[in-house]
Amino acid sequence: MNPTSANTLLPSLPELLAELVSAPGPPGQEDAIREVVKGYVDHMGLSSRVDAKGNLLTWLGDSFPERPDVVVTAHLDEIALMVRAVHPHGELAVSALGGVYPWKWGEGPVEILGEQIVPGILSFGSIHTTSPHAVPQQIREGKPLTWEQTRIVTGLSTDVLRRLRIREGTRVVMARERRKLWEIGNNLLGSYFFDDRADIAAWLLALERLIQTPIPRQKGILFAVTTSEEVGGEGALYLLHEYRPPVCIALEIGPSTPDAPFPVDSTPTLWVSDSFAAMSPRDILRVEDAAQEAGLGLYRQALSRGGSDASCAASKGLCARPITLAFAAENSHGFEIMHRDAPQNLATLLVTLLKNGVIPNPA
């Protein structure tokens, strides 16, 4: 954590994003990224707590909002892998945690989070063969590439791996060497895991603005960075089961798709529906009004596949009104690209929406 000046609570956005992206956070093991976020929350002078599921909660004001009107979430976890078998010669079989695909990652270095971090190489095998047992030949024949066909080479014996407590259930993440922030052209940034690290940046930026310029009723707002969103929104479901707030606002990625296309610029996006829930028409108007007041455009998208903390919770009856705000992006669950101003504008939209009084009216 390296704020740019005594008057600035957060570093520059590229520095902040680079730090957030570099910290691993597979579902169920989000300790490293949570500590980074907690460092900034502490620096801003805010109180916080970590619940039994690993969600980090913070609030504005002197006391914890026991019955919050609004919960604002961004998720800590990233798509990752899990060891499903340890084979002889130091090879690991893996399965997906969340929507991670082999062709999105490709061959390359990974880190195995045992008792200590162990490097490994994700491998699909040699192309210089026509053997039907070779994965490249199977791909040539039109078969899909799956995690069952891949392996991680560690160079260690099975006994050494066991001593390092690398076994079934151990998490595997993309190696730090690949977790870099790239500046593209004049206005674009690229990296793995902008979903949801760019939203954590927007979440922190919104807190910074609310500290500096308080709004009415902000004591009824609970801010949370949640765990295990990529495997079904587990952290948010645990959290919202306790509080059942009228409104949950989730910060997410807004992927440009053929059925919901838009340019990848700094304009925020609004999920009007996804695989789990549809927004109230009245809340759509509230978000549109907030965007107009903030001088921002707004892209609306009906996702044909996907879900957020808010929509997953609404589908279980754990919040009454789901709202999912997002940044426009090219690619998802891979090397994601966004406009450098997108997190700032997402934070602006969120703060304006909260200021305008999203709390709580029936639809």
How many angstroms separate the CA atoms of 157 and 262, rounded? 50
Residue 89's pLDDT is 86
Residue 66 lies in a domain: yes
Residue 361's pLDDT is 53
Task: Reduce the DSSP state of residue 49 to 3 states and report it.
Answer: strand
- 65 and 86 in a single domain? The answer is no
- 149 and 170 in a single domain? The answer is yes
Task: Reduce the DSSP state of residue 31 to 3 states and report it.
Answer: helix
pTM of the predicted protein model: 0.95
Residue range of the domain that includes 130: 80-178
- 199 and 252 in a single domain? The answer is yes
Counting as low any pLDDT under 50, the low residues of the chain are: 4-6, 362-363
- 291 and 232 in a single domain? The answer is yes
Q: Residue 243: give its domain's CATH number.
A: 3.40.630.10
| Radius of gyration for the chain, computed over Cα atoms and rounded to the nearest angstrom | 21
- 242 and 277 in a single domain? The answer is yes
Domain boundary among 154, 178, 202: 178
CA distances, 16 to each of 149, 181, 210, 214, 336 (Å): 36, 10, 18, 23, 17
How many angstroms separate the CA atoms of 46 and 207, rounded? 9
